[in-house]
Amino acid sequence: MKILLLNAGYFLGFDGSTKNYILHSYRYIYCPNKIIKEKIKLLKETLTEEEPEIVCVTEIDKGSLNTGMENQMLNLIGSEYPKGSINRKYSYNSRLRDISFFNGKSNGFLTKKGVRFEKTFLKNGTKRLMHQILTNEGIRIILVHLSLNKRTRTKQIMEISKMLIKKDKTIICGDLNTLGGYEELKCLTEGSNLRIINGREDFTFPAYSPKKTLDFFICSNDLKIKEFRIINKKISDHLPVILEVEI
């Protein structure tokens, strides 16, 4: 089973450099459809090349401000990947849900075949959405996008750790925003059956010159890893990551 993970950066075409963010900051308010379509096309080309069964994506805009985004994503879901779920990443009681700028900010996953899944929310932070995907092979995939605030992020990691410390056939993936490095994930791996699959130099951010690992796959020890690879495709300011596990 092959999984592709990507922080899509809302398909705004940033490369992760400070200069690029500043010069094109207007895209946060309005991004031309041409740029969005170009990045979604690159993602579709990558999916055709890699043929993952499951695609886990953070930072998707369902169309709150960027006209045409929702239709483009639905086209992607409805063709090669007919099943999946895209949901707003803020909890039901978050005030951000009522602000138009944040209203469509979402995370989600796409699949070629049916899976069971549950949408839940972590207790801490503003970005709390957690997808729990259960495949027909009994593998549990946890997709999260953690906080940029270190104190909040630590609480989120601790919560996930307590939830999954003794779970078998488990994959945790997402943009974990570990700006402090791998040490932040110790509570997930120490005393548990989980291990970090990324190597120390498997950098995913910024895409134009990767120096940090933010996008992770963390797997239980009972899963045999066939392949792990960073894909050098500048779909967003994060590079995509591929994981293949033996069924």
pLDDT tens digits along 144-154: 999 999 999 99
Q: What is the pLDDT of residues 187-197, one digit of tens each?
A: 898 888 899 99
pTM of the predicted model as reported, rounded to 2 decimal places? 0.93
Residues with Cβ within 8 Å of residue 121, at least 6 apart in sequence: 91, 92, 128, 129, 130
What pLDDT, on a 0 to 100 scale, did the predictor assign at position 67? Answer: 42
pLDDT of 91 over the 90 cut:
no
Q: Which domain holds residue 72?
A: 2-245
Decide if 218 contacts 194 (C-beta within 8 A): yes
**Pick from 52-66, 121-135, 139-153, 208-222: least confident:** 52-66
Averaged pLDDT of the chain: 89
Of 3-17, 49-63, 65-79, 199-213, minimum mean pLDDT range: 65-79
Strand order in the sheet with 215-220: 116-121, 129-134, 140-145, 170-175, 215-220, 194-196
CATH number, domain of 174, equals 3.60.10.10
For residues 221-244, give the mean pLDDT. Answer: 97
Mean pLDDT value across residues 89-117: 80
- Structure tokens, 237: 């300011």
Q: Tens digits of per-residue pLDDT, 46-82?
A: 999 999 999 999 998 875 444 444 555 555 655 678 8
